[in-house]
């Protein structure tokens, strides 16, 4: 499984993982507005031997499968701002 990672201009140190490059159809519009303009950071394979620094890889995989995206917030900011 691959993940494509983006960062926004409005929420420093938050990263949006999506299951298809440049495809944000599954991401709520309110979340996209909160993040601001997105820029591509990295594409990675989420293999069994992969480790992520600030995210649980199993949680990332699960959310990519079920939701199509995963939002990684900076440490200490585990609740996203209200987006609705």
pLDDT digits (tens, 9 = 90+) for 37-52: 999 999 999 987 888 8
Counting other chains too, the contacts that 29-34 makes at CB distance below 8 Å and 24 or more residues apart are: 30/83, 30/84, 31/71, 31/80, 31/83, 33/83, 34/8, 34/10, 34/80, 34/81, 34/83
**pTM (two decimals):** 0.84
Residue 9: band (very low, low, confident or very high) from pLDDT cuts 50, 70, 90: very high
Dump pLDDT digits (tens) for 51-82: 887 888 899 999 999 999 999 988 765 555 54
């Amino acid at each position: 499984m691959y993940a494509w990672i983006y960062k926004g201009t409005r929420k420093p140190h938050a990263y949006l993982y999506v299951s298809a490059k440049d495809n944000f159809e599954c991401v709520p519009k309110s979340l996209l507005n909160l993040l601001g303009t997105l820029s591509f950071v990295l594409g990675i394979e989420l293999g069994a031997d992969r480790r992520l620094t600030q995210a649980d890889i199993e949680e990332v995989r699960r959310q990519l499968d079920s939701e199509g995206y995963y939002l990684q917030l900076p440490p200490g900011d585990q609740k996203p701002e209200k987006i609705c």
